Structure 1
Amino acid sequence: MEFITSKQWDEDLWQKTSDIYNVAFGEHATKPEKIIRNMFARGLCALHVLMENDEVLAMALTGSMPGSSVLLLDYLAVRKNLRGHGIGKDFFDYIKEWARSQPQYKRILVEVECDETSENLARIHFWEKCGFHLLNDYKHCYKWGPQHYMAMVLYLKSKPITPLKGEDCLKYMASFHKESYKLS
């Protein structure tokens, strides 16, 4: 298996990856390709891919605001027929080690749907197995959907003296999403 991280738009790699992205997140939860291309052009994201024999097994899109110590895990998906076999955890471990190798990052954030459904609870459990902690002091609902979200954090270095607040983390994520939709 080969792990690849690209901070530059790679048309061939994206074409191999986009089907996993679209199947996992659906038409209404994905960012349009032109927005992702623009995010690469502006240095806001990286594409992480797990490949075997020229086939993409898993993909992730991470992002960060310039000068930030936070890496946002925007999307992570495993090919549908391979889910439940530990590939997602192994793939995330690669992303975590990549983030640790980047001196600016001190933590990784992920936003999770927190309405109590079996699917959402399974996702939260997955992220907890990956080392994330739920910041359940604040729930946020975006204006375009009824789902509630909470932040989860994984510390790459030492835990901060002042605990992070879920509200602050979700504000950071909202700022990132707003910035990612700006066209240059």
Structure 2
Amino acid sequence: MMDLTFTTLSHWDQEQWNQLRPIYEEAFPHGAKPEAILHGMLDRGIGFLHGGYQGTEAVTMAVTGLAGPANDRKLILDYMAVRQDLRGQGLGRLFLRQIRDWAIREHGINAIILEAEAEDNEVNRTRLQFWQQCGFIPTDYVHTYIWVPEPYRGLVLPLEPDFELKDNGQSLFRYITALHEKAYRKR
């Protein structure tokens, strides 16, 4: 069994970020949130930074945020990455389970929401396949932002048996957009 030590930061720690940043930059060379925005998300209590370590070496990272009222709480998986040279070994699935378990235990979430690039190409098909293998359900709605060129599809991982998505996925972007707006909002 793989050993992956899981950490979650709710306050900025520059030393840990310095260990996680190479994974983030490698996985998201374009369109990633700047460090100052991530720092602000943690400082303002709207985001979390997760790390997965083998020994003292960072091998996975994620940025998450909460959305919705306390009785209908969702976790937005804003970014998640496995170090490129370690992909395909099950670390992503293990890390996602750790994030899920933490979010259920600490925040009582009923679903995890993420957005994935919707353009039909090999890289995006591979990513979509990974998320589906993890239990995420892709939605039909494709969202186009005004500030990025590529369209995105919402995916949801229901965590309660009675969870029901009542539309084509457009409602997922209300949660995602709310987190993005809070992240970029000046204090």
Say yes or no: TM over 0.5. yes
**Number of aligned residue pairs:** 182
3-state SS of paired residue (2:149): coil
1:146 aligns with 2:119: no
Q: Does 1:6 find its partner at 2:9?
A: yes
> C-alpha displacement at 1:94, in angstroms?
1.0
Please, which of 112, 115, 137 is the counterpart of residue 116 of structure 2? 112
Q: What SS does the corresponding residue of 2:113 show, helix, strand or coil?
A: strand
The DSSP-based 3-state class of the residue aligned with 2:6 is strand
CA deviation after TM superposition for structure 1 residue 10, in Å: 1.2
Please say if residues 51 and 62 of structure 2, whose CA atoms lie closer than 8 Å, have aligned partners that are also in contact. Answer: yes
With over 3 angstroms needed to count, the CA separation of the structure-2 counterparts of 1:16 and 1:127, relative to structure 1, is: same
Percent identity over the alignment is 35
Give the match for residue 169 of structure 1.
172
Q: Which runs of 5+ in 2 are unaligned?
A: none
- Alignment pair present for 1:60 and 2:71: no
CA distance in 2, matches of 1:175, 1:162: 18
Matched, 1:71 2:75: yes
* Residues 130-162 of structure 1: CA deviation (Å, up to 9, x unaligned): 1111111x1111123332111100112233356
State the SS of the aligned residue for 2:28: helix
Q: Secondary structure at the match of 1:29?
A: coil
- The one-letter code matched in structure 1 to 2:85 is N
Q: What's the RMSD between the two structures over aligned residues?
A: 1.6
Deviations 1:50-101 (A, max 9, x none): 1112110000010124745011000001111111111111111111111221
Q: Which of 85, 88, 101 matches 1:84? A: 88
Segments of 4+ in structure 1 off by > 6 A? none
Code of the residue aligned with 2:12 in structure 1: it is W
2:45 aligns to what SS in structure 1? coil
